[in-house]
């Protein structure tokens, strides 16, 4: 049985992870369970605990597609630029750390039984060369953040290096959204910065993906 999986390509792992997150996203989108206005109103209903709720919802975003960009913008709107950055960064980091730890300490042993040692070496080499950069760029792209955080847990990257990389990638994102949130107080005014926040890293992701594919 194991011989059957010896040629399993490691590239299927991030693809499978992304597919899972995509399916969850589609299901919730079709259900209409959460809208931007719903998220804002629900968070505001907690008054003084709104900051804590934003952090918890950013963590939950790992498994339930909560609009993290909206939450970060809302944090800036409610608490100002500095505290908005702090709240958004903490929630985003905790979400990524949770995904990393789940795959590192629960899923890694099982997942790596499906690929042989040579494939594992190729996976770790690729992640060292390209994955760390993609991990940084993915911080603004929906579903890629979750995919790359979970995938990182299956590679040979150390936790401290992973943490340092996501800090580098996360702070500019939270600074960006908190800045706009602290100046734009209407959800309708958030459309442009939210769109730009996804489009720019999305373009960079496509460029880097093509470059990786050609190597």
Q: Is the pLDDT of residue 187 over 60?
A: no
* Cα(24)–Cα(64) distance, integer angstroms: 7
CA distances from 164 to 6, 151, 159 (A): 33, 16, 9
What's the confidence (pLDDT) of residue 71?
Answer: 87
Q: Which two tokens stand for residue 156?
A: 């040979």
Q: Which of 100, 157, 129, 149 is nearest to 215 (CA)?
A: 129
**172 contacts 34 by C-beta, under 8 angstroms:** no
Q: Which of 116, 80, 129 is nearest to 8 (CA)?
A: 116
Residue in the structure block whose two tokens are 């936790």: 159
What's the confidence (pLDDT) of residue 5?
Answer: 43
What's the confidence (pLDDT) of residue 67?
Answer: 76
Highest mean pLDDT among 28-32, 105-109, 168-172, 191-195: 168-172
CA dihedral 172, 153, 107, 10 (to 10 degrees): 110
**88 contacts 171 by C-beta, under 8 angstroms:** no
130-134, 140-144, 176-180, 202-206, range with the lowest pLDDT? 202-206
Q: Is the pLDDT of residue 35 over 70?
A: no
Measured CA angle at 121 (ends 150, 214), to 5 deg: 80
Q: Which two tokens stand for residue 164?
A: 């340092």
Highest mean pLDDT among 8-17, 44-53, 86-95, 204-213: 86-95
**Which pTM value belongs to this model?**
0.77
Q: What is the pLDDT of residues 58-110, one digit of tens each?
A: 998 888 877 788 888 889 888 988 999 999 999 999 999 999 999 888 877 77
Question: Which run of H or of E encompasses 138?
Answer: none
């Amino acid at each position: 049985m194991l011989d059957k999986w010896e040629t399993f390509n490691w590239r299927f792992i991030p693809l499978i992870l992304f597919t899972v997150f995509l399916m969850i996203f589609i299901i919730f989108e079709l259900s209409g369970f959460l809208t931007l206005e719903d998220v804002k109103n629900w968070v505001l209903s907690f008054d003084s605990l709104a900051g804590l709720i934003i952090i918890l919802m950013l963590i939950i975003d790992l498994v339930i597609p909560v609009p993290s960009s909206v939450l970060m913008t809302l944090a800036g709107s409610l608490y100002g630029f500095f505290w908005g950055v702090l709240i958004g960064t903490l929630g985003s980091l905790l979400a990524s750390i949770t995904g990393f730890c789940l795959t590192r300490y629960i899923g890694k042993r099982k997942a790596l039984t499906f690929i042989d040692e040579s494939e594992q070496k190729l996976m770790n080499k690729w992640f060292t060369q390209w994955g760390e950069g993609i991990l940084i760029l993915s911080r603004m792209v929906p579903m890629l953040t979750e995919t790359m955080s979970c995938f990182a847990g299956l590679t040979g990257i150390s936790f401290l290096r992973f943490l340092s990389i996501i800090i580098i990638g996360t702070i500019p994102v939270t600074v960006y959204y908190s800045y706009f949130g602290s100046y734009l107080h209407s959800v309708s005014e958030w459309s442009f910065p939210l769109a730009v926040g996804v489009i720019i890293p999305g373009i960079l992701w496509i460029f880097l993906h093509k470059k990786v594919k050609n190597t």
